[in-house]
Chain A
Amino acid sequence: MTVAGKINTLHFGILLFLLACFFILPAYHVGALSRIMVLAIYAIGLNILFGYTGLLSLGHAMFFAAGMYGLGLSIKFLGVSVIPAFGIGILSAAVLSVLVGLLALRTVGVSFMIVTLMFAQTIYLVVLYFGEYTRGDEGFVLQQAERMLLNFDVTTEAGRYFVAFGAFSICLISFAALVQSSFGKRLVAIRENEERARMLGYDVWRYKLLAVIISGTVSGVAGALYALLFGYVGATFASVQYSILPLLWVLLGGAGKTIGPLIGVAFMFYLIDASSAYTSAYMLIAGLALVILTMFAPRGIAGILQAKVWPWLP
């Protein structure tokens, strides 16, 4: 089988497995997997920028929140239905990523990290400041009636799972196509050696801006989807914690690997889930596992898979 064939088989195999999970697994895990898939889309968003282009953003929660509030506020205050609200959510994230990209890409390295962190904090404070509309930390709930996707009820377990699954499938497949395209290779070239890419005649800045826009928009898709499927919009999702989490997921799963985000989210979700059954200090166990994994597998779980089993892993 050709390398491209192997890659496609792997991705479709994963999707088939996720589809089968709905019919096999008990309700609790089905619910957990819906959440994992939505958060994996968020991690895919960060992976495009961090894993493939080599730009570390510490403020991705702002894009997630832009998608989330774009959808939530337009449903709540404009009374629009789900599909246009979803569009507004994605558009909000896209516009924000253009603005942040234009400004933050004037910096590099650590400064880029700090500038993105700063922008995200600004967005977080804006959410709190307009608490009258956003209800700040407390957040607001989207009613079941407001969450009808045409005639399809996304508040049921099946509805939620299949919308999450559909969105994740689209994101995973288009993400895989993107990183294997010539555009994706150029991003990797920039990550590997920015100056060299420039010396081959590439407008590095333009590619980095495109990466920020794609990455931010995908993160916004995840945010809008999260609000839609779980019916809650709150400022926690704009906080710094939600900028760090996707970074951990990507690092654990494998930065710069297509399957890294899903593995990372699932691993961390079940790690916390399992350890919280034994102790209330479950974050301590999770933290320890993270330290061990980073020490012994700096390239994440997908990195181990690539080294031991699938050298062709994209």
Chain B
Amino acid sequence: MLEVNDIHTGYGPVKVLYGASLKAQSSEILCLLGRNGAGKTTMMKAIMGLLPVTSGTVTLEGQELHRLPAHHVPRQGIGYIPQGRRLFKELTVDENIEIGLMTRKQSRDTRDWVLDLFPRLRERLDQQAGTLSGGEQQMLATARALCLRPKVLLLDEPTEGLQPSMIEQIRQVIVKMRDEGFAIILVEQRVDAVLSIADRVTFIENGRDVRTTDAATLKQDPSIIAQHLGV
């Protein structure tokens, strides 16, 4: 579905990715693992068109994304939930969702669908987004990205800084979305959090993908994790 093929990118003169590739398929959670600074977030940004891809390709169902202006990428069906959530704090929960719906002119069905995924948001529609708890903000950020009815969802450390009960809820939603047919790319620091839900894992090291393997294999042989993450 989403294919990243041998891309090179970075921030101005600083190159971060040197020929990184990955493949995300529908009904699958692909997890990106790597040490700090390995290039996981950079990979997300490159997919979203926020960084210039100097060589290599990013394609969604055969269509090239890396040549599109950044604001066209989400319209092709990719939802991105960056690290640190970043809501429109002054707007209410309802307005945040409304903004998400407007880009691809989605209907009330979509609104109902995302609110069914996160019933807690339905109770707080008129509340200002900035006054939500951390977990609720994460739910809203996810809900807003889902308003685009994406085929692929990129999540950058969605459970960072949340309490365990919230982490569990977010994880359940991620699994549910996988079961509904989404392709999900998940960046996580916490290996234990990943292994229980990931289908495949791609290790990123020094700006390259060094190994892609089934999560089941990793569970049987944790030494692979130690080898790449040094923990």
A residues neighboring B (CB under 8 Å): 182, 185-186, 188-189, 191-193, 195-204, 256
Contact = CB atoms under 8 A, between A and B. Distances in A.
A185 B86 contact: no
Nearest to B96: A189
Nearest to B100: A200
B90 A188 contact: yes
Contact of A199 (B80, B102, B104): B80
Interface stretch (B68-76, B157-165, B221-229): B68-76
A201 B99 contact: no
A256 B88 CA distance: 14
Contacts of A199: 48, 50, 70, 74, 80, 82
Interface of B: 48, 50, 69-75, 80, 82, 86-91, 95, 98-100, 102-104, 144-145, 147-148
Residue among A191, A200, A201 with the most chain B CB within 10 A? A200
B86 A201 contact: no
Contacts of A202: 71, 103
B88 A201 contact: no
Given A189-B88, A192-B87, 20 more contacts: A185-B99, A186-B102, A188-B91, A191-B90, A192-B89, A192-B90, A193-B87, A196-B87, A197-B99, A198-B70, A199-B70, A199-B74, A200-B74, A200-B99, A200-B100, A200-B144, A201-B148, A203-B69, A204-B71, A256-B90
Given A186-B99, A200-B144, A203-B71, A192 B88 contact: yes
A78 B80 CA distance: 57
Residue among A189, A195, A199, A204 with the most chain B CB within 10 A? A199
A191 B87 CA distance: 11
27 contacts: A186-B99, A188-B88, A188-B90, A189-B88, A189-B91, A192-B87, A192-B88, A192-B91, A193-B87, A193-B88, A195-B86, A196-B86, A196-B88, A198-B71, A199-B70, A199-B74, A199-B80, A199-B82, A200-B144, A200-B147, A201-B71, A201-B72, A201-B103, A201-B104, A203-B69, A203-B71, A204-B71
